[in-house]
Amino acid sequence: MEILKRVAATALVCGAAGCEFLREPTFIDPPEDLLQVHSVLHAGADTVKVLVSRSGVSGGQSVVTPVSGARVRIAGGGTEVTLREAPGGFSGCVNRVDPNLPSAAELVMAPGCYAAVVPGGIRSGERYLLSVELTDGGRVTGETVVPRPAEILRPAENARLTVQRFGGPGGGTDSVLVRWRTPLDAVGSFPQMQAGTVYRSGTAVPGATCQVHFFGPDVYGPGGIRAVAPEDSLRGQVQFGGCQVRSGNTAAEVRPDSIDALFVVQARDSAYARYARPDRDAGVRRGSRSHGLRGAYGLFGSVATGTRRVRLLFTGP
């Protein structure tokens, strides 16, 4: 069977409002006019998004172009919704790099991105069906069963973790053990972290943001971060940095005395787990480019996220 090389990868981030894509969907070499669909349903979210595009070649370069005018529907959980293309009031499907933003990216609504609100939200344990009907008569279908959330068992809820400053703008904890339980019908991700409210002198600092990360020998595998944790526990270090308050295009450093943070573990359905496998930037068989879909390449999957809130307390200068 023919092996094709990926020359650009799609990265997914699934937040509470659904799934967004950090870069354009997969470019494929040799270039072809290939239809691609990307969507991940997030348990508990009230919004769904579907990105429909085609990969091809222009001026000798691989390109991805949006597919407009499609009829996109998602049914499941006792309801059916028709998604609208580039509707107002929704964030987009694809992140655009913007050096003036703290995260260097912003979600931009654009053609080819279809979105809708799901009454009652996406429910764990329910089966959802995707239908994409194109103006040329083509049709794409997909199916996923949304997993139950992963359960984080350790550290304890609202645990206080001591962070030692490094002497500069960053710092880190001693070794921290994170233990979780993933449903049997899902594949667990490795733990990640999200920063919340930043405190200075015991008072919340409006508009302040920090970056927090969980990493260590167990978290990193060959070639980078593991997409799937090898066990149900990992030991690593929490590190922080980049604490600042932005005003327009300027930013002022903040030295917090504590930060609210979340440990996050995803339970992914089998399609999403295969799509996010660590070796997906390598060669891939033609028949392995569709995950949870029929009639297009890409992904229709689902995820449920478990969280555990902690407080980071800073010591040192």
Q: What is the pLDDT of residues 220-236, one digit of tens each?
A: 554 444 544 545 888 88
Q: Is the dihedral of CA 238, 278, 16, 42 positive or negative?
A: negative
Q: What pLDDT shows up at residue 172? A: 84
Average pLDDT over residues 143-169: 90
Per-residue model confidence (pLDDT) at position 8: 33
Q: Give the pLDDT mean for 80-98.
A: 84
> Is there a contact between 177 and 237 (Cβ–Cβ < 8 Å)?
no
In order of start, what are the domains of the chain with their CATH numbers? Answer: 3-148+269-302 (no CATH), 151-266+307-315 (2.60.40)
pTM: 0.79
pLDDT of residue 268: 94
**Does residue 279 have a pLDDT over 60?**
no
Average pLDDT, integer, range 50-63: 82
Q: On the CB side of 210, how many CA atoms lie within 13 Å of its CA? A: 32
| pLDDT in the model for residue 12 | 34
Residues forming beta bridges with residue 114, ordered by sequence position = 50, 85
Least confident segment among 8-22, 197-211, 294-308: 8-22
Rounded CA-CA distance 243/5 in Å is 39
d(CA 34, CA 3): 16
Distant-in-sequence, close-in-space partners of 116: CB < 8 Å, separation ≥ 6: 47, 48, 74, 81, 82, 83, 84, 87
Q: How far apart are CA 90 and CA 111, in angstroms?
A: 13
Statement: residue 273 has pLDDT above 80: yes
Across 166-180, average pLDDT:
81
